[in-house]
Copies of this chain bind each other. A is one copy, B any other.
C-alpha cells in the first residue's frame, strides 16, 4: 500500500495569539520578559481582553514540524485536540490552508482550545503565556488509527507525555503505527520533560521508538551525564536512529554503524531560535520519508532550522522546498 502521508504528527494543538505590546504592558501584567509561563483559562482571557490587535495562527511544536514538512513539499497530517470554539476553528482552518491534513473532531466538552499569548516588545523579545486547555485533554478517542496506518512516519511530541490519559493516547498511537509498519519518531521536546520522566523516556525509546530527536541538553538529561560524548555513546548503543541538534555546532545523526556530523548553516544571523528544533525535525523527517541518505536528511534538517532562526516566529517564511532545491538537497 502506498502511504497517503509522509508524516503524521501527534502533539499539542495550540493557537498562537500574537500581539505587539510595550514594556509597560508586561510590567502591568507582571509577565516575565522573554520567558514561557503556563497560565490558566482565566488569565488567558484577561490577557486577551487587554489586547486591542492580535494575529492568530496555528502553533504547537509537532504542528509546526508538520507545517515545515508541507513547506518542503512532503505530505503531512496532524492529530491534536481543539475545542469547538472560534480558536479551534482557527487552528483547523489555518492548518488545512497550508496543505496539512487535519480532521481530529472538535471536542464538544471540556476546556477551550489551547492558546499561547505571545507578546512581542519593541526590542523583538517574545514573552509567551501558554494555556494548554483542550490540547492536554487529548485521549485515546482522538487517535485516528487509520490515518497513522496510512503514514510512513508517526511523529510524537514529548510534551504530550504527561497525564495517564495523554500517555494512553500516545501508546494507542504507537501501537497503531507498529501494527501498520509505520515508523515511530519521538522528540524529547524539553530537558524539563526529560527530567520529569527520564526512566520512562529511556524505556520508551528502547522498546517503542525508531527515530529520536533530542537537543544537547535533552540528551545529557536523558543519559544523566554532563559529557556529550558519553551521552552520544549511550544513544548509539540503543541502535535507534538519533538526530541530535547542537545549536551552532550543527547536528549529529547516528544509527548503529552510521554516524553523520552535520554543520550548522554558515552565515545565518540568528534573530529568534524559536522553532529551530521543530524545523530541524521537519527537514530530517522529510528526508527519511523520501528515502534520502541520512547525511542528506540531516542537511535538510539544518537547512530548515537555519531558515526559521533567521526571522521571528516558529514556522518557515519561504517555501523550504525551493531552498532545499537551491542547495541541491532534493
Interface residues in chain A, defined as those with a beta carbon under 8 Å from any beta carbon in chain B: 227-230, 232-233, 236, 249-250, 252, 254, 257, 259-263, 295, 298-299
Contacts and interface: CB of A to CB of B under 8 A. Distances in A.
A263 B228 contact: yes
Contact of A295 (B229, B254, B263): B229
A232 B261 CA distance: 8
Contacts of A227: 263
14 contacts: A227-B263, A228-B263, A229-B261, A229-B263, A229-B295, A229-B298, A230-B295, A233-B260, A233-B295, A252-B261, A254-B259, A257-B257, A259-B259, A261-B261
Residue of A229, A232, A236, A250 with most partner-chain B CB within 10 A: A229
Contacts of A259: 236, 254, 259
A249 B250 CA distance: 9
Contact of A261 (B228, B257, B295): B228
Contacts of A233: 260, 295
A254 B233 CA distance: 13
Contacts of A263: 227-229
A243 to B, nearest CB: 13
Given A229-B261, A249-B249, A249-B250, 17 more contacts: A227-B263, A228-B263, A229-B260, A229-B262, A229-B263, A229-B295, A229-B298, A229-B299, A230-B295, A232-B260, A233-B260, A233-B295, A236-B259, A252-B261, A254-B259, A257-B257, A261-B261
Contacts of A262: 229
Residue of A228, A259, A262 with most partner-chain B CB within 10 A: A259
A259 B227 CA distance: 15
A228 B302 CA distance: 14
A252 B260 CA distance: 11
A227 B298 CA distance: 12
Contacts of A252: 261
A233 B258 CA distance: 9
A262 to B, nearest CB: 6
A249 B264 CA distance: 11
A230 B294 CA distance: 12
Nearest to A263: B228
A261 to B, nearest CB: 5
Nearest to A232: B261
Contacts of A232: 260-261
Contacts of A254: 259
A236 B298 CA distance: 18
A154 to B, nearest CB: 27
A86 B268 CA distance: 53
A87 B243 CA distance: 54
A261 B298 CA distance: 17
Contacts of A260: 229, 232-233
A222 to B, nearest CB: 16
